[in-house]
A and B are shown apart, each in its own frame.
Chain A
Amino acid sequence: EAQVTQNPRYLITVTGKKLTVTCSQNMNHEYMSWYRQDPGLGLRQIYYSMNVEVTDKGDVPEGYKVSRKEKRNFPLILESPSPNQTSLYFCASSFYGGGPYEQYFGPGTRLTVT
């Protein structure tokens, strides 16, 4: 089954404790991206990657890191989480056909930072 998986689905952590949210896709997609969803703000793009070892900032990259060492995986790293990073996070992927069109989304990771 074609899918994007994220782990963990739920995470409660404390300020400053490094964490990683994993994302994996089995569709051989070149393009992968991370978003956060906040009430009243919709989804905002954090980082995206057009292929292995190629990443770039989205609209809200501060406080986040990513890496793309393999085509299927695109982990999101919070080196020192803060309460304002409490949010619902989505990973997405698509074929790279000239733009981030028709992205497939994972089920989301709800992160709470206390």
Chain B
Amino acid sequence: DQQVKQNSPSLSVQEGRISILNCDYTNSMFDYFLWYKKYPAEGPTFLISISSIKDKNEDGRFTVFLNKSAKHLSLHIVPSQPGDSAVYFCAASAAQKLVFGQGTRLTINP
């Protein structure tokens, strides 16, 4: 039972345009949501997070939106840069556990 789902395995975006990565969840007990970025041969690195009591959090080029009624969150990257090419994981936290989605591979084309 996949509690956190990223339905798009891959996404290709032109450099300078907006990248939108999506994530759906099923457990309404999740109280924190996070996005991690992963380059090949490295561990994931934290990108941005949002509390379940908020609907938006912004950090530079990265914005995360949370729609609790739809149990959906999204990560917007604007403008997209070649260095953003990586695998992005969304994750959700409940109690002491962190549940990850399957990941979306983002490719930024020059």
**Which positions in A face B, CB cutoff 8 Å?**
4, 31, 33, 35, 40-45, 48, 50, 56, 58-59, 90, 92, 99-108
Contacts and interface: CB of A to CB of B under 8 A. Distances in A.
A53 B46 CA distance: 27
Contacts of B4: 42
A43 B34 CA distance: 13
Interface residues of B, number: 25
B23 to A, nearest CB: 11
A4 B99 CA distance: 20
B45 interface: yes
Interface stretch (B11-19, B60-68, B100-108): B100-108
A45 B102 contact: no
Interface of B: 4, 6, 31-32, 34, 36, 41-46, 49, 89, 91, 93, 95-103
A105 B45 contact: yes
20 contacts: A31-B96, A35-B100, A42-B6, A43-B100, A45-B97, A45-B98, A56-B96, A99-B32, A99-B93, A100-B96, A100-B98, A101-B32, A101-B93, A102-B34, A102-B46, A102-B49, A105-B36, A106-B43, A107-B41, A107-B42
B73 to A, nearest CB: 15
Nearest to A6: B43
Contacts, number: 61
A58 B99 CA distance: 9
Contacts of A107: 41-43
Contacts of B41: 107-108
Nearest to A35: B100
A15 to B, nearest CB: 26
B33 to A, nearest CB: 10
